[in-house]
């Protein structure tokens, strides 16, 4: 995404220490769920790691513009899967979302994902939990595919190989 002056204006507003970089706490100020709560700090930190090209633990205005577009794309998906329009996603809606996104996972897995990413323990995912869940699913799937040489959904690797893949992709 190219530089967006409106997004840059928002960047400058939340760059409270005026360094030209956003740390996790500053970025958290910029990101809101439908209920106007701030994003979970772990989700914010995960997104910084994704977009921080120079590994400083912060993002600059261009990285912020890329992140903003990324979140806009996910917001469209979230709103589409929030079938009841309640501003959050329940377990059934999450299962449908994962299925439509190509993840063939059991109801038991969906229940575990709800427990993991329902940061407010409301039995519903806010937007930040949805984004966090999908980022980790994408990254862990990429790691798994390196070991799934036959592309049949099965992989064989050592415990250390498993840990390395998890550490590398989370």
Decide: helix, strand or coil at residue 168. Answer: helix
CATH superfamily of 5-169: EF-hand (1.10.238.10)
> What does the domain layout of the chain look like in residue ranges?
5-169
* 89-138 confidence digits (pLDDT tens): 999 999 999 999 999 999 999 999 999 999 999 999 999 999 999 999 99
pLDDT tens for 41-51 read 999 999 999 99
Residue 93 is predicted with a pLDDT of 96
Residue-wise pLDDT for 11-41, tens only, equals 999 999 999 999 999 999 999 998 889 999 9
Which distant-in-sequence residues (6+ apart) come within 8 Å of 91 by Cβ? 110, 111, 114, 123
Structure tokens at 43: 């989700």
**What's the pLDDT score for residue 95?**
96
Is pLDDT at 170 greater than 80 in this prediction?
A: no
Judge contact between 31 and 38, C-beta under 8 A.
yes
Per-residue confidence (pLDDT) for residue 165, from 0 to 100: 83
| Residue 85, φ and ψ in degrees, nearest 5 | 70, 20
In whole angstroms, give the CA distance from residue 170 to residue 113. 15
Q: What's the pTM? A: 0.87
Mean pLDDT, range 136-148, rounded to an integer:
90
């Amino acid at each position: 995404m190219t530089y967006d002056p409106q997004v840059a204006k928002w960047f400058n507003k939340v760059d409270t220490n005026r360094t030209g970089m956003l740390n996790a706490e500053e970025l958290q100020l910029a990101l809101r769920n439908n209920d106007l709560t701030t994003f979970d700090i772990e989700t914010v930190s995960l997104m910084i790691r994704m977009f921080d090209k120079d590994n400083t633990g912060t993002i600059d205005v261009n990285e912020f513009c890329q992140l903003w577009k990324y979140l806009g794309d996910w917001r469209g998906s979230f709103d589409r899967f929030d079938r009841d329009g309640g501003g959050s996603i329940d377990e059934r809606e999450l299962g449908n979302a994962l299925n439509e996104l190509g993840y063939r996972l059991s109801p038991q897995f969906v229940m575990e994902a709800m427990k993991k990413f329902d940061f407010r323990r409301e039995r519903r995912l806010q937007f930040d939990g949805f984004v966090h869940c999908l980022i980790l699913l994408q990254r862990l799937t990429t790691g798994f595919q390196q070991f799934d040489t036959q592309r049949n959904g099965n992989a064989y690797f050592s415990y250390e190989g498993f840990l390395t893949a998890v550490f590398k992709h989370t």
